[in-house]
Structures are given as C-alpha cells and as structure tokens.
Amino acid sequence: MTNKETSPAGNGKPKLAIYWAASCGGCEIAILNIGDKILAVDEAFEIVFWPCAADFKYEDVRNYPDHSIDLCLFNGAIRSSENEEMAHLLRQKSKVLVAFGSCAQEGCIPGLSNLTSASDTFRAIYMDNPSIDNPAATLPQTVTTVPEGELHIPVFYNTVRSLDQVVPVEYVIPGCPPEPPQIWAVLEAIVTGAPLPAPGSTVIGASHLAVCHECPLEKHEKTIERFYRPYEITPEPGLCLLEQGLMCMGIATRGGCGALCPRVGMRCEGCYGLLDGVEDQGANMISAIASVVNVGKPGDDEAELERRIGVAMDSIVDPAGTFYRFNMAHSLLHRVKTGNNGDVQNRGSETA
C-alpha cells in the first residue's frame, strides 16, 4: 500500500492539506490573512497538498497512505462529482478533516442554488444570459467525443451539499470566511497540542453565543412595524439595526466574528451559521422576527389582524434567500421541490 516515492516526506512534522471544492477562494485568502503567522504554520506543518498555493496533483494525494494527512482544512461546498470525489479521497487520507468556512459547513452562497435546479442554472448561465450568444445551444456535457477520443468533465449536481452531508468531519470552523484571528487560534491550539473538544462535526473557532452578544450597538425593546432593505433607509448610528427595521440576522447567528458587520452599519447576514441547539437557521429567524414585529393586538378584529400582519411580513423580500443566505444546504428542507422537468414549482410570489 505505502509507496515510499510518493508518500509525504517523513520529516516528522504533522502533515497539512488545504483544499477547495465549490468555493470562491475567499477562505484561502482568509488563511493567508493570518499574516506572518503563516510562517509559523509552515514551520509547524509539512504542507502536503494545497492546490491554490503549491503545485500538487490529485494523483499525489491518491498515492499517500490512508490517514497520513494529520489535518485537512476543506473549504467549499459539494456541487459536482469532482468535489464529491475529493471529499471522499481526503476523508480517506486524513486523520482530522475540518469543514472550513461556511461553504463546507452549510453550503453557503453556492447552496442558494438549491432554490433552483441545475437545468435552470444552466439555462440562466448559457442561454438566457444577456451577454451570451449561444446559437448552437452548447451546454457543458459530461462526455464529449473528439477525434482523439472521449473527454470527461465532472457532473454538475442538481443539489449542493455541505461537506458533512457527504463524509463525516471531525470539526467545523464557521464563517464566510472564517476570521483570521479565529483561524490562527485553532491552528495554534493544534500546533501546541492543546486539547481539542470531542470530534463529531464540532464547531471550533467561534463563540457559543449569538452575534448580538458581541454587537456594541445599543439595544432596546424591539417593536418593528415593517422591514426595510438597506438602500431604503440610513440607519441611525449606534442603534441596533433590527430595531430600525433592517433584517439583521445577528439574533439567529453564531458569534465569533466580533459582530463585524453591524459594527459598520451593515446588517448581519448570518455567515457564522446557526446557534447551538438550533436545527434550522431560517426557522429560528422566523421565530425571532415574530417576537420583534409589533403588529396586531389581542383586541383586533380577526380579519383585520390577519391583514395587518400580512402587510408587515410582505415587507420582507425573499425570506428563503435571506434567512438561509448561508445555511440553505444544511436547512431541514435542504432544497426546493422541482417538477419532473426540473422546473421549480410554485416559484412563489414576487418576492421569490
């Protein structure tokens, strides 16, 4: 099994792999953003696979002995057959596999395409795109025959999955992307041999409290009549954004980032994922919103009550895309229902 030539060199250092699947590259940048500490990482680990930064081939990894990689930081979601194959390969070769960043943890922005289908996505990109002229209706084909033989490209799946929906992972580092000080804290703990919590999709490098807990904005009792999109109002500085009718997800989002966004007047979009004990971030957010929207009183006429609440909730544009901006692939419903022809049924109201 072990191939001396191709197995990672045995210089005694723990071996580190970093991989990107369906990702934007931001997680890789976040790792580099630990600054000169990256030198400490290089000193402590032997890097055995990092396609973004060094020239390794998949074949190299295939030739490593099983469990020979001590730590693998895997960013990106599982969108294609290539992503899936690499997830299995790196699982097999790694002792500790970490879902690094929101895409690997919960699907993140790529996961939003679970609100549509692969065929609709292709249609939007290769056909209906205003900047595209595609008279031959050329679409990516998994197999193409050319004079030299058959060419294969990975299958583009209908549904985006998180890493732990494909293989078990020991740890999860949340964030889009994870904050560099949090990344360093985790790597430092590993380098110094500090004890890690028990493995099993365990969240590390983040807080166990909500973003609101880290947010310095002044909070009062929240009584909102309607919601606004960020361009519609200029928030009063220093005041909780949710109170002002901006859909701040901090209330249903794990802290760890230091409330970066609300600090600068931007609503939290939820990138650190769901809180401990919550199974569905969107459902959690709906609960929270029902408590802060102050429309309807016990004495109201029943029909009038329904109408007024309907109006308040109608001011929320695209609830699924907002509440599951990062968590769609990991949500309980996972994806939309599509018909036999792949068209999304009930595309919903104008808010969809």
- What residues contact residue 124 under an 8 Å CB cut-off, 6+ apart? 116
Work out whether 247 is an interface residue with ligand SF4 (CB under 6 A): no
Work out whether 145 is an interface residue with other proteins (CB under 8 A): no
**98 to 127, contacts with ligand SF4 by CB under 6 A?**
101-103, 108-109
Reference 351, options 326, 323, 320; nearest CA is 320
Work out whether 155 is an interface residue with other proteins (CB under 8 A): yes
Distance CA 119, CA 348 (A): 19
245-259 per-residue burial string, b: 16 or more CB within 10 A, e: under 16: bbbbbbbbbbbbbeb
For the chain, first and last CA: distance in Å? 53
23, 105, 113, 117: which one binds other proteins (CB under 8 A): 117
Work out whether 293 is an interface residue with other proteins (CB under 8 A): yes
Distance CA 166, CA 11 (A): 32
Q: How many residues bind ligand SF4 (CB under 6 A)?
A: 35
Given the structure tokens 């960043």, which residue do they identify?
Answer: 101
Cis peptide bond upstream of 262, omega within 30: no
Q: Which does 250 bind (CB under 5 to 8 A by kind): other proteins, ligand SF4, none?
A: ligand SF4
50, 56, 157, 228: which one binds other proteins (CB under 8 A): 157
- What residues contact residue 36 under an 8 Å CB cut-off, 6+ apart? none
Q: Which does 65 bind (CB under 5 to 8 A by kind): ligand SF4, other proteins, none?
A: none
Work out whether 245 is an interface residue with ligand SF4 (CB under 6 A): no
The token pair that represents 169 in the structure block: 């992972």
Q: Which residue is nearest to ligand SF4 (CB)?
A: 250
35, 135, 193, 195: which one binds other proteins (CB under 8 A): 135
Q: Which does 211 bind (CB under 5 to 8 A by kind): ligand SF4, other proteins, none?
A: ligand SF4
- Residue 152: beta bridge partners? 143
> Distance between alpha carbon 178 and the CA centroid of its chain, in Å?
10
Given the structure tokens 């084909």, which residue do they identify?
Answer: 141
Reference 215, options 152, 265, 288; nearest CA is 265
Q: Which window, 4-12, 201-209, 258-266, 299-307, contacts ligand SF4 (CB under 6 A)?
A: 258-266
**190 to 219, contacts with ligand SF4 by CB under 6 A?**
211-212, 215, 217, 219
Work out whether 288 is an interface residue with ligand SF4 (CB under 6 A): no
Work out whether 295 is an interface residue with other proteins (CB under 8 A): yes
Instruction: Give CA angle at 313 (310, 316), nearest 5°.
Output: 145
**Residue 249 near residue 272, CB atoms below 8 Å:** no
Q: Which does 97 bind (CB under 5 to 8 A by kind): ligand SF4, other proteins, none?
A: none
- With residue 15 as reference, give the H or E element that holds it: strand 15-20
The token pair that represents 142 in the structure block: 């998994």
Q: Which does 332 bind (CB under 5 to 8 A by kind): ligand SF4, other proteins, none?
A: other proteins
Work out whether 229 is an interface residue with other proteins (CB under 8 A): no
Beta carbon of residue 292, minimum distance to ligand SF4 (angstroms, whole number): 9
Work out whether 276 is an interface residue with other proteins (CB under 8 A): no
29, 132, 139, 209: which one binds other proteins (CB under 8 A): 139
Beta carbon of residue 181, minimum distance to other proteins (angstroms, whole number): 32
Q: Which does 300 bind (CB under 5 to 8 A by kind): ligand SF4, other proteins, none?
A: other proteins
Work out whether 260 is an interface residue with ligand SF4 (CB under 6 A): yes
Beta carbon of residue 68, minimum distance to ligand SF4 (angstroms, whole number): 26
Distance CA 143, CA 339 (A): 26
Reference 18, options 100, 89, 92; nearest CA is 100
Residues binding ligand SF4 (CB under 6 A): 23-24, 26-27, 75-76, 101-103, 108-109, 176-177, 211-212, 215, 217, 219, 240-242, 248, 250-251, 253, 257, 259-262, 268-272
